[in-house]
Structure 1
Amino acid sequence: MDFGNNTGAPNNQPYEPYPTAPVYPQTPHHDPYGYHPYSHIPPHPTTMPGSVRAARIISWLFAALGIGLSVLAGVIGNPELAGALVAGLLPALFLALFAFGYTTNGNGMRVASIICAAFGILWSLGGAAQGLPPGLLGIAANLTILILLSKQISADWFKRPH
């Protein structure tokens, strides 16, 4: 058997023509120009979701309350209470600083805020057990911030392209 001989080919062509791939019509979702069948729905959030905005406002209010109460305690003349307030609300101050970056920073800011809120819950539990500030208010505020930032819509906001 001779594989190099192609004499049996029609029209006496020296070689058989190369088979072409079948041509299929393109559907809209396979368009090379980026057509998306749900183009009316934006692929990422364009405005800050309510959960992120609420976590931002809660962290600012909680830090402002802590600063105001510690200044008030210092003015009244109780430095021990002022020191306890500053120490107890330290995670709230960090959360308030992180909240300024919620519009421009990425997912790392969300993760850092979640970790800081979890640390604030533990910090507040220790304070509540000893009767020190922030007590139950700190547990509630930090838990609320943690839950709001753990939602999927919050993750989508922080993972959007900048």
Structure 2
Amino acid sequence: MSYENQPGWNAPNPNAQHTSPPYPPGAYPPPGPYQPYPTGQLPMPGSVRAARVLAYVAAGLAALGTVVAGVVAGPEAAGAALGSAIPAIGVAICALLFAGSGSGAKITAIVFASFMILFGLGTVGRGIPLGIVHLGLGIAIVTTLSQRQSGDWFRRPRP
């Protein structure tokens, strides 16, 4: 920054004309090539998207586990695997509703994920080490849905 008494200072030109912008006063300038107009629709936060993906992974693993148990150990084991997969299926159904529903889908998903944690603990307690997968997925889903971003997403106004 240079001042009047320093070398290199250029005095303002009193004859310079000021041009007005091409848009009306108080309006925003048009967006550039990489800056689109806002559409009014908020993107889903990363924590909600992560919970959604984890719910789909949990349901997929539960379905795969049910099929494998049925093939390896018979229909009784398949029924037991399907019974322990009910919370994962419930979380996946709630995850389908995350884009357009309110806090009810979030709370229901947290309840189902809490049951996933309990069922995972029971499975690990019976000596089946694969229960740690449902335990970890349930903890991750509860954690991501309990963040402030998630709460703000589910409390947003809908058109």
What TM-score results when the alignment is normalised by the length of structure 1?
Answer: 0.67
Q: What is the distance in 1 between the residues matched to 2:132 and 2:68? A: 20
Structure 1 residue 109: deviation in Å?
Answer: 1.0
Partners of 1:125 and 1:139 within 8 A in 2: yes
* Residue type at the aligned position of 1:126: G
Structure 2 vs 1, CA of residues 134 and 63 (structure 1 numbering), >3 Å: closer, same or farther? farther
**Other-structure match for 1:160:** 156
Partners of 1:124 and 1:133 within 8 A in 2: no
Q: Are 1:52 and 2:35 counterparts?
A: no
User: How many residues are paired up?
Assistant: 120
Structure 2 vs 1, CA of residues 45 and 156 (structure 1 numbering), >3 Å: closer, same or farther? farther
Mapping of residues 79-90 of structure 1, within 5 Å: 79-90=75-86
Identity of aligned residues (%): 38
Structure 2 vs 1, CA of residues 157 and 51 (structure 1 numbering), >3 Å: closer, same or farther? same
Over alpha carbons, which structure has the higher Rg? 1
Which residue of 102, 106, 111 maps to 1:110? 106
Following TM superposition, the consecutive aligned residue runs of length 4 or more in structure 1 with deviations greater than 3 angstroms are none
Q: Are 1:141 and 2:143 counterparts?
A: no
Secondary structure class of the residue paired with 1:102: coil
* Residue type at the aligned position of 1:130: R
What TM-score results when the alignment is normalised by the length of structure 2?
Answer: 0.68
Q: Are 1:151 and 2:131 counterparts?
A: no
**Other-structure match for 1:99:** 95
